[in-house]
Structure 1
Amino acid sequence: MMKTLLSTAVLAAIFSANALAAPTIVTEDNYPQAYTNMRLGAVLEKTGGVNQFFAMPNPSSVPAEQFVVRMNRDTAYSVSVIDMSSGDVTVTVPKTDEYVTIQVVDENHETQPMIYGSGEHKLTAKTDHAFVIVRTLDKQVREGLVIEAGSAKPFTVKEWDMASFHAVDKAGNIDFSNGYDQSKAFGNTESGQTPYMNYVGAAGGWGGAMVEDNIYQTSQYFPADSCYETTFVDPGAEFFWSATVYNADGRMFNDTANISSAMDPVANADGSYTIRFGCDGQANNIPVAEGNTTGKFNVLMRHYGPGEQVSNDADGYNATKLIHKVK
């Protein structure tokens, strides 16, 4: 009898342990935490540990090799996972006159206004660890970044049910492409971020910036078998603007994936710009077919330090709405 009871107890303990060890099912509600947990784990594989920066190489043209959806080549990146639990964290940026920002994204995919410029900057977050990214037009800056943190608590990557993750991820990416509210997707609860838009934002553009720092304008999808163009007035960005082409999965697929005002694009006689998509041999052209196995593409405009008209969604200041097929 004792043996039977013991066996039952052992089996119960094993069952309980297995239940506790089972991967966590991913839903819309916990997707931002799940994806952020995975992304921080992936960053740590690059940095080798917390409180260290890794200078990201130029994103690959192979979709499967890209770190997250809708990456871009507008700036050089350095990324880290920092232990924020001490409340005494600073990042020092070397002297530069070029564009440079620091962005903090916590474990709940809540972000803060960007920090600009050189010098020593104090960082905070609501969670024990945070993803910290430095974006810059001066690649040399990345060699001199310094993190000072009061502790180095290891980060734990959790076990997630990947079947449910991929299903929720796909649905969120579609919702993002169909239209979303950036002010409610990328921010924090104090700024008006909502749980649903946090999910959509994480799925479609994990780590996105708040609207005061970088406004995103996203086009509809177009068949990748024709020539398209958009002509627009200078949007008046404080820093610069860019346009990047993605396939139906939100991935770059060609070495020539973007054009930005920092790249000195060809301007029209009246000061406006015309960007072309799939118009071989023409000025300011981004390929849309070569390397694109999905048969579709869309365009994402980024405004670094958005101008007043862009911030107010003034008519004529959303170039993605002006894209049309060239007859």
Structure 2
Amino acid sequence: MSVQVNVDNFVRAETNRMFDFGQSQSGGINQWLRYRVPTPFDEQPVIRQNRDTLYSGAVVDVSRGARLTVPEHGDRYASAMVVNQDHYIQHIFHTPGTYELTADQCGSDYVLVAVRILVDPTDDTDIAAVNTLQDQFTIHAASSTPLTHPDYDTASFDTTRNHLLALSRGLPDYRNAFERPVRADRQRRPGGRVLVRHRLQR
């Protein structure tokens, strides 16, 4: 039976759908999808991707714990952002090391780990060096159960999304829309999430 979508569950529904898409693109749970070349201007899978950044991402099952390793990267900018199923940004790691991820700590059984690494988009040698660095980010999870989610009712999902778009068009920015639960603005969260998705699709 389909689950009706409203403003209370829209963020979880939208995030689950996006995680599901990411899982399918990477080849499965706990698997990396690595973008090896700078993103073309007309092929942006995520809103406003930077030309000077190479991206990687993985949907990770943290229900029984997982370890994320951030490699040494010298003075080159690199980060690993952890987003849970309610689209809260639980961690951003910059320092090399191995980090424990748990469901209690992250707030959901599944998370998206999104890696960003600075690159010179005009230098093939630098791109190759960053490709090597991308491969050194690793995830080891104790469970590899594929993400599943409810069958969200399409009509109510689209209706809720359209209402949120209309309400959110005047927002000047996404401030306080995506942080940890204690800092995020509950009123801005659904609007911020739907605007990111809307601009991604344009």
Q: TM-score range by the shorter chain?
A: 0.7 to 0.9
User: How many pairs align?
Assistant: 185
Are residue 83 (structure 1) and residue 75 (structure 2) matched?
A: no
Are residue 195 (structure 1) and residue 186 (structure 2) matched?
A: yes
Amino acid at match of 1:170: N
Are residue 95 (structure 1) and residue 72 (structure 2) matched?
A: yes
Q: Which runs of 5+ in 1 are unaligned?
A: 1-20, 207-248, 254-327
1:205 equivalent among 178, 196, 201: 196
Q: Which residue of 2 aligns with 1:133?
A: 114
Superposition pairs of residues 124-203 of structure 1, within 5 angstroms: 124=102, 125-138=106-119, 139-140=130-131, 141-179=133-171, 182-191=174-183, 193-203=184-194
Are residue 73 (structure 1) and residue 50 (structure 2) matched?
A: yes
Cα distance in 1 for partners of 2:161, 2:88 equals 18
Cα distance in 1 for partners of 2:3, 2:201 equals 30
- Partner-residue secondary structure (3-state), 1:158: coil
* Structure of greater relative contact order (alpha carbons < 8 Å, 6+ residues apart): 2
RMSD of aligned C-alpha atoms? 2.5
User: Structure 1 residues 157 and 48, CA, compared in 2 at 3 Å: closer, same or farther?
Assistant: farther
Are residue 29 (structure 1) and residue 8 (structure 2) matched?
A: yes
- Cα distance per residue 1:21-51 (max 9 Å; x no partner): 2x22221111100101101100111111111
Q: Which residue of 1 aligns with 2:83?
A: 105
Q: Which runs of 5+ in 2 are unaligned?
A: 120-129
Q: Which residue of 2 aligns with 1:116?
A: 94
Q: TM-score, normalised by structure 1?
A: 0.51
Rg bigger for which structure?
Answer: 1
Amino acid at match of 2:60: I
- Partner-residue secondary structure (3-state), 2:176: helix
Are residue 38 (structure 1) and residue 17 (structure 2) matched?
A: yes
Identity of aligned residues (%): 27
Cα shift at 1:91: 1.4
Cα shift at 1:66: 4.5
User: Structure 1 residues 251 and 47, CA, compared in 2 at 3 Å: closer, same or farther?
Assistant: closer
Cα shift at 1:184: 3.1
Question: Given that residues 29 and 61 in structure 2 are in contact (C-alpha distance below 8 angstroms), is that contact kept between their aligned partners in structure 1?
Answer: yes
